[in-house]
């Protein structure tokens, strides 16, 4: 009988989930994946400078397990650099970043992410229509639901991509500090990237304006998805 897997503490979350060599279209690249525990081991050891014992204690794992996770993560990064591959940090736990590191991120999510929502839009205004496409949406209207102040994130770079547009768009949402996405349709890879970034996803919200979608969210009438709908 296999031993039960011990829970691993993740205190940090990547600001970007996807990295690729400059100037090479994503469709021409092979992807390599790093799990969140690999990212955390790298962050603790190579960024914060912790030793094996301290890193293992922070992750709530044994020193041997920490060393193995760290070695695997370093090999993945080295392979991506040497072979010129695309690197995707994947959350295979099924948990959002807020669930993975509640102590450090709860305050941030309360102050920023959960009051800031992004809506796929055909234009920069609240009166513009919701763009049903996520990865190839014209852009995202980012709304602070407490003040209703809004800003616009252009998604033109993702529209021009023949492959990987959804992942790039997901990175744009995470970088905008939004904790909620309202849209029409989301593909599997983009859905996984959004969930890895701690973003809640409301789907099937087309045929309305951005303001109407925000009103539905404020009224508690948006159901968050557990799986992609495209």
User: Are 60 and 87 part of one and the same domain?
Assistant: yes
Whether 204 has a pLDDT exceeding 50, the answer reads yes
The CATH number of whichever domain residue 77 belongs to comes to: 1.10.10
100-143 tens-digit pLDDT = 444 444 433 343 345 689 999 999 999 999 999 998 888 999 99
Whether 175 has a pLDDT exceeding 90, the answer reads no
- Domain assignment present for residue 121? The answer is yes
More confident residue, 86 or 2: 86
Q: How far apart are CA 169 and CA 190, in angstroms?
A: 8
pLDDT of residue 88: 82
- Domain assignment present for residue 4? The answer is no
Mean pLDDT of 154-158: 77
Average pLDDT, the chain: 82
User: Torsion over CA of 124, 129, 134 and 140, rounded to 10 degrees?
Assistant: 20
- Domain assignment present for residue 209? The answer is yes
Is 0.85 surpassed by the pTM of this model?
no
Nearest Cα neighbor of 114 from 195, 179, 200, 197 is 179
pLDDT of residue 56: 93
Q: Is the Cβ–Cβ distance between 109 and 145 less than 8 Å?
A: no
pLDDT of residue 213: 94
Q: Which of 49-58, 112-121, 132-141, 159-168 has the lowest mean pLDDT?
A: 159-168
Pairing mode, strands 116-121 and 18-19: unpaired
User: Are 59 and 141 part of one and the same domain?
Assistant: no
User: Are 59 and 130 part of one and the same domain?
Assistant: no
pLDDT of residue 124: 92
User: Are 189 and 121 part of one and the same domain?
Assistant: yes
Mean pLDDT of 154-167: 72
């Amino acid at each position: 009988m296999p031993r039960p897997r011990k829970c691993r503490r993740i205190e940090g979350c990547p600001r970007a989930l996807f990295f690729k060599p400059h100037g090479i279209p994503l469709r021409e690249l092979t992807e390599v994946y790093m799990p969140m525990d690999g990212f955390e081991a790298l962050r603790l050891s190579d960024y914060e400078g912790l030793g094996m014992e301290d890193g293992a204690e922070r992750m709530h794992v044994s020193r041997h397990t920490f060393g193995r996770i760290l070695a695997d993560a370093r090999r993945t990064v080295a392979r991506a650099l040497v072979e010129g591959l695309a690197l995707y940090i994947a959350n295979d736990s099924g948990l959002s970043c807020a669930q993975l590191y509640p102590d450090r991120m709860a305050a941030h999510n309360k102050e920023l992410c959960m009051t800031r929502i992004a809506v796929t839009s055909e234009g920069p205004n609240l009166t513009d229509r919701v763009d049903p496409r996520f990865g190839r949406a014209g852009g995202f209207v980012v709304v602070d639901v407490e003040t209703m102040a809004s800003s616009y994130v252009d998604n033109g770079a993702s529209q021009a991509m023949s492959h990987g547009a959804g992942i790039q768009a997901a990175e744009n949402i995470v970088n905008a500090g939004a904790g909620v996405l309202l849209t029409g349709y989301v593909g599997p890879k983009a859905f996984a990237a959004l969930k890895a970034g701690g973003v809640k996803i409301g789907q099937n919200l087309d045929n309305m304006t951005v303001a109407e979608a925000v009103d539905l969210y404020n009224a508690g009438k948006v159901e968050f998805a557990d799986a992609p709908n495209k």
